[in-house]
Amino acid sequence: MLRALLVLLLLPSAARAGTIVGKLELPSAPERPAAATKGFLERVENPLAPVQALNVPKQIVIVVEGDEKPATPPQVSWDLLGNSFSRPVIAAPAGAEVVIKNASRTTHTLVAKEDAKLIPPGPINPTGPKSFRATDPGKVYTISDPDAPYLTGKLVVVNTQFIAYPDDSGKFEISDIPPGAYKVKIWYRDGWLERPDDSITVNAKGKTELNPKITSLASPPGAGKK
């Protein structure tokens, strides 16, 4: 009954919503960062094949912000796969419930570095969830497991629900966007990228193409705090 009501409420807006599609133009992948941990030896490249490039798109989040603020932000799901998050960076609309699902066989205890009270205390057992709400737009949280420092993810709180994660080739799509003018922001690893083409007008119907060109993956100083 509630589901039917929700569909009826969304129908008018969906009918006049547009879609943004596109592909990121990325520069050459940067060198792999130094390993988070080091044993007795420095890591050495294998002699048979060049080392694989860093998967840059996996660390990018595309956000489209307009004047309209999300009234009922959707739930954001973030999977914990083994010893890493399914995506190292996610964005969540302000006020949205973030649910971390532990898909690994290891119990983890997650803590937000910037706000110890953000995540309810206690471990997340295998297959178990842990949910919380991030309400302050613009805030960035670094979620990690103190027992496994390499297990780290960034949660970026944004003032929109129109968020996209590109695939390995850089393609992305954001649907159900009301027509209007929007600002496009791209987050890479630790901060927002500085770009000139940050405005887009979404049509009421059809697809609006957006191919952001990223010339540099270097974030401006303090970009992560915006």
> Closest by alpha carbon to 224, among 161, 144, 141?
141
> Closest by alpha carbon to 29, among 169, 186, 198?
169
End-to-end Cα, the chain, rounded Å: 41
8-state DSSP, 212: -
For other proteins, which stretch binds (CB under 8 A), given 10-18, 31-39, 65-73, 216-224?
Answer: 31-39
Q: Is 168 in the site for other proteins (CB under 8 A)?
A: no
- As measured in angstroms, the least distance from the Cβ of 109 to other proteins is 13
Token representation of residue 171: 């393609």
Q: Is 32 in the site for other proteins (CB under 8 A)?
A: yes
Out of 1, 8, 12, 39, point to the residue binding other proteins (CB under 8 A): 39
Amino acid in the structure at residue 72:
T
Out of 29, 36, 204, 218, point to the residue binding other proteins (CB under 8 A): 36
- As measured in angstroms, the least distance from the Cβ of 180 to other proteins is 39
H or E stretch at 156? strand 148-158
CA atoms within 13 A on the CB side of 59: 20
For other proteins, which stretch binds (CB under 8 A), given 4-12, 45-53, 187-195, 197-205?
Answer: 45-53
CA 123 – CA 187 distance, rounded (Å): 29
Out of 82, 121, 138, 220, point to the residue binding other proteins (CB under 8 A): 82
> Closest by alpha carbon to 183, among 160, 151, 216?
160
CA 21 – CA 15 distance, rounded (Å): 18
Q: Is 44 in the site for other proteins (CB under 8 A)?
A: yes
Q: Is 41 in the site for other proteins (CB under 8 A)?
A: yes
Residues within window 107-166 making contact with other proteins, judged by CB under 8 A: 146-151
Nearer to other proteins, 43 or 213 (CB): 43
Out of 5, 12, 38, 71, point to the residue binding other proteins (CB under 8 A): 38
Residue ranges that bind other proteins, judged by CB under 8 A: 32, 35-46, 48-52, 81-85, 103-105, 146-151
